[in-house]
Structure 1
Amino acid sequence: MDRPNFDRLVKDGLPAVTPVIHVLDVGQALRNIDTVEGAGCPGAFLINHDFPMEDFLPVLREVRAARTDLWLGVNFLAQTGGVGFPVLGQLAQEGCRIDAYWADDARIDEREEAQAEAEQIARIRAQSGWGGLYLGGVAFKKQRPVNPEDHAEAARKALLYMDVVCTSGIATGQEADLTKIENFRAALGDAPLALASGITPENAHLYAPLVDIFLVATGINFDGDFHNIDPARLNALLEVTRNARKGAHP
């Protein structure tokens, strides 16, 4: 665990809100980042839903050059850390700092004792020279289904291979089953847990005592707009998290 990196996100026992920006271009990304920073969020994630990873890299370079102090995470859509870490290492060598990588699939198999794919990704990460925070998707949307009775085992196995275990509901914009999050929390103990779908100002109070980081997009965007954050909804979500302490689940 890169504790100083993680502590920048989570302070005073409150869950961190790191909005996810579905990037169209540099200007749109920066406008949304201004909204995120203006609301007082500790950072943001950028994701390339609309174009390939190769076209995303120039955008990342320009965003970092324009916002040198921003805590910035990325998701390379549909790419594991095995693909992402070498790219992040190259960006770092160029002076383009990326603080966190979120992969939808950390390649954890709760059915197996040995985690060959996760081990390989860990080796690639070490060899890449990239030193940021790794959030790995476990029992995550659009990946191989995991039986609910195996959620706790998946979470426990994941602990060895990432800094923050990240899970979700069944689809983008779909809230996670609360029992699933409770089971992840119990399995992880004090280790960090991130939730990455279906969070809204209306339901965040259910998850805030259990989760360390909220990765949220559609729940705070303007209605019918996949790409732009509504400042009013973001502020409403932050107000919920400010009133909820982790570990204080009713």
Structure 2
Amino acid sequence: MTHQDFTTALRGPETLVTPVIHVLDAGQALRNLDTVDAAGCPGAFLINHDFSMEEFLPILKEIRAARPDLWLGVNFLDQPGDIAFPILGQLARDGCQIDAYWADDARIDERVEKQDIADDIARIRKQSGWTGVYLGGVAFKKQRPVPEEQYARAARFSVPYLDVVTTSGIATGHEADLSKIETFRNAIGDAPLALASGITPENAAEYCGLVNCFLVATGINHPGDFYNIDPARLDTLLAITRKQGETV
């Protein structure tokens, strides 16, 4: 799947499922990516919870060399776009194309009209030469708290800067309040919206009509396992999103 194919699919009736793999090493990541590919997901995100970004880069290159055609997104833990985009641009020049970047914090400030930091990130993204899809966290877990009454403003401000507006519940594994997602959807109109915490096969149907993409990890992993996808739970989640896509 190309960047353009993914962007087009986001506009379709089915909520996309892009599993998030907490990487330990290349072998563990590749085994999980094969599970994702076999299930028919468009691709997956890789994240470095257990080591530094610098240690992550050679692992990414190894994974990309082993799976040159697989759609791969990345989250460099706690790194905003101004740090990530130059690195992604260099990776691409080195032959390691990353298809999407998900930043925990898009640096949108709902308290002010002028988005100086987001403007700087947009400039750095353009200068980097990286051409992938940008998902940015807005009112996102573990970031500066945004008051509920400012959700709509934060979401609306983020649209010009992001390919996919991305939000979450209060923490990893915690489902988002449905009213928050409804507020985001109303604020951003038909712009793509992703949800990045708390999705499970048991609750996914509540969000399908509001969200274009699920970024999901613990909700489809083996019980008590932070690192490995349970193929049965992934298949169950996909059955729900595909059914929703057929009935819209």
When the two structures are superposed, what TM-score results if normalisation uses the length of structure 2?
A: 0.96
SS of equivalent residue, structure 1 residue 135: strand
- Matched AA of 1:194: A
**Alignment CA distance shift 1:131-1:204 (3 Å):** same
- Partner in structure 1 of residue 118 of structure 2: 118
Post-superposition offset of 1:11? 6.7
Q: Deviations over 1:59-118 (max 9, x none)?
A: 110110010110100000000001000000000101111000000000001010011111
**Alignment CA distance shift 1:27-1:98 (3 Å):** same
- Partner in structure 1 of residue 21 of structure 2: 21
- Partner in structure 1 of residue 221 of structure 2: 221
Matched, 1:104 2:143: no
- Partner in structure 2 of residue 240 of structure 1: 240
Structure 1: give runs of 5+ residues left out of the alignment.
Answer: none
Larger mean CA deviation between 3-12 and 66-75 belongs to 3-12
Q: Distance in 2 between matches of 1:9 and 1:101?
A: 17
- Matched AA of 2:61: R
Q: Distance in 1 between matches of 2:4 and 2:173?
A: 31
Matched, 1:140 2:140: yes
- Partner in structure 2 of residue 92 of structure 1: 92
Post-superposition offset of 1:7? 3.4
Q: Distance in 1 between matches of 2:157 and 2:115?
A: 8
SS of equivalent residue, structure 2 residue 161: coil
Q: Distance in 2 between matches of 1:104 and 1:224?
A: 24
**Alignment CA distance shift 1:3-1:185 (3 Å):** farther
SS of equivalent residue, structure 1 residue 146: coil
Counting aligned pairs with the same residue, the percent is 69
- Matched AA of 2:204: A
Q: Distance in 2 between matches of 1:58 and 1:24?
A: 13
Q: Deviations over 1:207-226 (max 9, x none)?
A: 01100010000000000000
Q: Distance in 1 between matches of 2:52 and 2:125?
A: 21
Q: Distance in 2 between matches of 1:203 and 1:173?
A: 12
**Alignment CA distance shift 1:76-1:9 (3 Å):** farther
Contact 1:9 1:43 in 2 (8 A): no
Post-superposition offset of 1:243? 1.4
**Alignment CA distance shift 1:240-1:164 (3 Å):** same
Structure 2: give runs of 5+ residues left out of the alignment.
Answer: none
- Matched AA of 1:92: A
Contact 1:209 1:245 in 2 (8 A): no
Post-superposition offset of 1:246? 9.9
- Partner in structure 2 of residue 53 of structure 1: 53
Contact 1:210 1:247 in 2 (8 A): no
SS of equivalent residue, structure 2 residue 244: coil
Contact 1:194 1:214 in 2 (8 A): yes
1:142-161 to structure 2, matched below 5 A, reads 142-161=142-161
Post-superposition offset of 1:160? 1.0
Q: Distance in 1 between matches of 2:3 and 2:57?
A: 27
Matched, 1:43 2:43: yes
- Partner in structure 1 of residue 66 of structure 2: 66
Q: Distance in 2 between matches of 1:9 and 1:243?
A: 16
Contact 1:136 1:166 in 2 (8 A): yes
Q: Distance in 1 between matches of 2:91 and 2:12?
A: 32
Q: Distance in 1 between matches of 2:9 and 2:42?
A: 6
Post-superposition offset of 1:5? 4.3
SS of equivalent residue, structure 1 residue 112: coil
- Matched AA of 2:108: I
Q: Distance in 2 between matches of 1:5 and 1:54?
A: 30
- Matched AA of 1:74: V
When the two structures are superposed, what TM-score results if normalisation uses the length of structure 1?
A: 0.96
